[in-house]
Amino acid sequence: MQNEALRKIRTMRQVGTSIDVARNERVRTTNSLYQPEEEVARLQSLADRRLEQVLAKERKRFAAQEASVDKSRRRMLKSRDKLAAIINKNHALTELRHELQRARWEERDSVLSKIEPSAESKNLHRMELRY
């Protein structure tokens, strides 16, 4: 015996969105119910010409929008590259300055260690506060 509840479940492939349903259905008005088939065919052919113009215009608008988005992305990437170059340069400069300062202090310490140690050399890195 099959479960009846499971037969009513639909997957995403079976469910159509309202836009898809509307695309496939024509509007049925009272006037359209009583039109001869020749007139319906003529009206559909007229609608097709206008529809192609609208679709071409929409494709053109979408292409322009896509080009604008691509241009914005390129600008963003270019500005990120510039910023990254500036950050890398600043980082390298900071590292070089630290190295030079370290070398300066090591040189002073080596020179001062060769000379007899005095009170000033011991307190070289300290700061005195006077009031």
Q: What is the pLDDT of residue 71?
A: 96
| Furthest CA-CA distance within the chain | 118
> Which pair of structure tokens corresponds to residue 43?
């009206």
The separation between the first and the last C-alpha atoms of the chain, rounded to the nearest angstrom, is 99
What is the reported pTM?
A: 0.43
pLDDT one-digit tens code per residue, 56-70 = 999 999 999 999 999
pLDDT one-digit tens code per residue, 7-44 = 667 776 677 777 777 777 766 777 767 778 888 788 77
Q: How many other CB atoms sit within 10 Å of the CB of residue 78?
A: 10
Q: What is the pLDDT of residue 45?
A: 75
Residue type, 44: Q
Q: How confident is the model at residue 94 (pLDDT cuts 50, 70, 90)?
A: very high
